[in-house]
Structure 1
Amino acid sequence: VAYRETFTKEAKAQGKFVRQSGGKGQYGDVWIDFTPNEEGKGYEFEDAIVGGVVPREFIPSVDQGLQEAMKNGVLAGYPLIDVKAKLYDGSYHEVDSSEAAFKVAASFALKNAASKAGAVILEPIMKVQVTTPEEYLGDVMGSITARRGTMEGMEDRAGAKIINSFVPLSEMFGY
């Protein structure tokens, strides 16, 4: 089943990656504003950096770091979709900043935003139409409800009942 993840509200988050290892270190610091995007619009990245607080050469690395982190999601490992990310602040180090450090910082910002942004798992929902004799109506409705289904309506047709409902795909296996 193809699950996805998305954000339900806006969240600003910092991602900071600092590592010192005797020689040249690693340093990247970003502030990103995450907002839900329209359904089906996918991921959008906006560079809103003013005054060079994050040098131009590191901006694409922030975008790449976010895209790579989104492939693995923030909740259960499913791809994160329909999210806008606006890079609006950060800092760098003359010697220790690198593209790799800014990639990691961006992924940290995404993970830090997850709880504040109302991350949710999306699952495929199937429209299900069941035709049944009237005497089995209660059993069929109970079966749909037990599978986390929601009834959308019922029609009569030649001594039978037609139940229209929506049921998660994962619950439909073996039905």
Structure 2
Amino acid sequence: MTFLGQFREVRPDSNGKEVDVFRMDNTTKSVEMPDMRADVGLGSCNCCDYFFINDNKIFVVEETRLADTIKAIEEQYSYLNDDDKKDCVVKNVRQENYVKVYGSLLVLCRLAAKCKDAAKRMKDKKHDFWLVIDGVDAEETRGVVEYLASYLLDDLRGVLTKKVVGDVEIIPSEILAKKLSANANTS
């Protein structure tokens, strides 16, 4: 039987309080934490790292090393000129994150179908997507970030509507704890 607590992970907020988040993507294959994707019958689909719920919203969170991703894409397309390379970077990062958001929503739907507690807590709430990035100081990362937030929001809302997607934010990893303080119900 699936229950929400089996995916619980505790994260500190900026006040030192504990915030309950629920691990979706257990790529570390930790023995203590089951893989939510597999537990709800989806195998190893792409999804975000975790989610948390407050009174009004579900926050779906993906933590990434965007600078490393950009570097890898630029190396893959090294034969292109700078403008075309930048377009490829933005396109690839957008697509990767669309897939993760869609996969996450599918995991959450399956979780709600298998777990009454999750269904009750998630019912009729909008989903905000947070892309938490390391390395925002690098100039090439800042350039991608400028394009990424509005494109992700527009594209996700265009497909999933405003009833499903509330907001999309790109958050530097240094302020994640502060954002958790402002948005999470603490235990």
TM-score, normalisation: structure 2:
0.26
Higher helix share: 2
Higher strand share: 1
TM-score, normalisation: structure 1:
0.27
